[in-house]
């Protein structure tokens, strides 16, 4: 978790140049006529929650989050039973191009709303999303992403402790994790973005405030098969009767290396992190476990859920899926490996995923029974976490995200 050491003056100059470009991009004339009324008073909630002081870029991104979806001229109405799709992205444009291309071939995609949640602002990522024409699409940008705070928390502050610094001896700021390591903004951004996104999508957007059905969550390195949306609609509709103990519906097995069993049955298993969906009732249960999520020393959101949030529900958390996957994880580069500099993961995003005829049509059957997978391997209650989340400032910001949209 070593921090990058760069010349602070050159870094600040580069950021100012970047900011000037971004502010031009984020100030379209449409913003004056196409803005939704915010769900909250910005100044009030910042004061009450004592959120980090925002930069000009952070404020502009927050304003942009209030813009209406694009392509409403092409798709003026959403289907009554649509499942909103949320694609959360970081800075892997080579991957984003792949998932966008796969989404363009999904049957039924034009009936729904695609929300793209960005961890900060990256112009190439923005341009790819602005080129989407196959459905309504709305972009949201995490305004407190560490990536847009170059010299203050939640980014890197000048007096932050690094690595295994002793705060008392170095007179630096920070709390180490359980392994003695201090925070790395690039690492903690993963969990911050996911939690901010969840709170915003469920409780902070005009477009989803009345949505009672499922919302599907996918990532920029998930290849989506053409039958994914129609399969998911079936699973969500069947779940109350076929699997009343299931909390969610998934497009893919929890084992990311599996393509499914190809049985003539539905599968109920532990919730995976590829193509998962749930409704507002389940979100409320998750939100009630805010402290468990925010105070657990683990920088991965999914491991946090598996190791502490789901076990706190008091019973197994099952998800319902088909016996053949409708989504595939294809990424090689981890989010924390970055896009440049030493140690960056270089991957051109090329994929060769075979899409068969059976992947283009609904391939599940309401007459099938449900096979329950029990005692599966993976992170469970008792796992103490990989660390990376020991700083009290990160924990406090996480708790504040859960309070942003309370009325």
**Locus of tokens 């001229």:** 73
357 is in an annotated binding site: no
Nearest to 282 by CA among 256, 257, 319: 319
Q: Which two tokens stand for residue 331?
A: 């990424």
Asked if residue 50 lies in contact with residue 16, where contact means CB atoms within 8 angstroms, the answer is no
Could you tell me the sign of the dihedral formed by the alpha carbons of 52, 120, 326, 333, in that order? negative
d(CA 343, CA 224): 29
- Give ∠ CA 215-146-56 in degrees, rounded to 5: 100
Could you tell me the sign of the dihedral formed by the alpha carbons of 70, 75, 81, 85, in that order? negative
d(CA 141, CA 63): 10
CA distances from 287 to 32, 64, 195, 252 (A): 34, 25, 10, 24
Counting beta carbons within 10 angstroms of the beta carbon of residue 324, is it exposed (0 to 12), middle (13 to 18) or buried (19 or more)?
buried
Prior bond to 154 cis, omega within 30?
Answer: yes
321: DSSP letter: E
221 is in an annotated binding site: yes
What's the helix, strand, coil split of the chain in %, to 5?
Answer: 35, 15, 50
d(CA 200, CA 197): 5
Counting beta carbons within 10 angstroms of the beta carbon of residue 360, is it exposed (0 to 12), middle (13 to 18) or buried (19 or more)?
middle
Collapse the DSSP code of 217 into the 3-class scheme (helix H, G, I; strand E, B; otherwise coil) and give the result.
strand
**Locus of tokens 């793209």:** 116
What is the dihedral angle through the alpha carbons of 312, 316, 321, 325, rounded to the nearest 10 degrees? 80
* DSSP structure string for 121-136: --HHHHHHHHT--SSE
Sheet with 266-270, edge to edge strand ranges? 136-141, 113-118, 84-89, 215-219, 276-278, 246-250, 318-321, 266-270, 370-372
Binding residues for substrate: 119
Q: Which residues line the annotated binding site?
A: 119, 221, 329
Residue ranges at the known binding site for Mn(2+): 221, 329
């Amino acid at each position: 978790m070593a921090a990058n050491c760069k010349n602070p003056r050159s870094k600040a100059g580069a950021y100012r140049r970047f900011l000037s470009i971004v502010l031009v991009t984020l100030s379209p004339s449409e913003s004056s006529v196409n803005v939704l009324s915010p769900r909250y008073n910005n100044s009030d909630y910042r004061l009450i929650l004592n959120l980090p002081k925002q930069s000009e870029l952070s404020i502009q991104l927050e304003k942009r989050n209030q813009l209406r979806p694009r392509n409403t001229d092409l798709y003026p109405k959403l289907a009554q039973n649509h499942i909103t799709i949320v694609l959360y992205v970081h800075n892997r444009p080579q991957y984003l191009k792949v998932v966008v291309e796969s989404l363009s071939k999904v049957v039924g995609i034009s009936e729904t709303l695609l929300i793209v949640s960005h961890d900060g602002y990256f112009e190439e990522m923005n341009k790819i999303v602005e080129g989407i024409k196959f459905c309504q699409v709305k972009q949201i940008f995490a305004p407190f992403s560490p990536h847009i705070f170059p010299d203050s928390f939640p980014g890197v502050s000048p007096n932050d402790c690094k690595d295994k610094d002793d705060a008392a001896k170095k007179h630096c700021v920070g709390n180490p994790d359980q392994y003695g390591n201090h925070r790395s903004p690039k690492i903690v951004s993963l969990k911050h973005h996911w939690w901010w996104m969840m709170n915003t999508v469920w409780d902070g957007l005009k477009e989803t405030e009345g949505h009672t059905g499922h919302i599907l969550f996918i990532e920029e390195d998930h290849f989506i098969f053409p039958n994914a949306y129609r399969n998911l609609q079936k699973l969500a509709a069947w779940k109350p009767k076929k699997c009343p103990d299931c909390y969610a519906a998934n497009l893919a097995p929890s084992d990311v290396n599996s393509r499914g069993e190809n049985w003539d049955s539905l599968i109920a298993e532990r919730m995976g992190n590829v193509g998962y969906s749930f409704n507002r009732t389940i979100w409320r249960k998750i939100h009630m476990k805010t402290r468990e999520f925010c105070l657990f020393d683990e920088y991965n959101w999914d491991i946090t859920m598996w190791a502490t949030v789901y076990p706190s529900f008091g019973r197994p958390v099952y998800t319902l899926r088909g016996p053949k996957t409708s989504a595939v994880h294809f990424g090689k580069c981890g989010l924390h490996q970055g896009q440049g500099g030493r140690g960056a993961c270089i991957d051109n995003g090329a994929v060769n995923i075979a899409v068969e005829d059976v992947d283009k049509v609904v391939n599940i059957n309401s007459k099938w029974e449900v096979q329950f997978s029990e005692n599966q391997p993976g992170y469970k209650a008792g796992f103490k976490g990989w660390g990376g989340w020991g700083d009290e400032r990160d924990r406090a910001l996480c708790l504040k995200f859960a309070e942003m949209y309370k009325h």
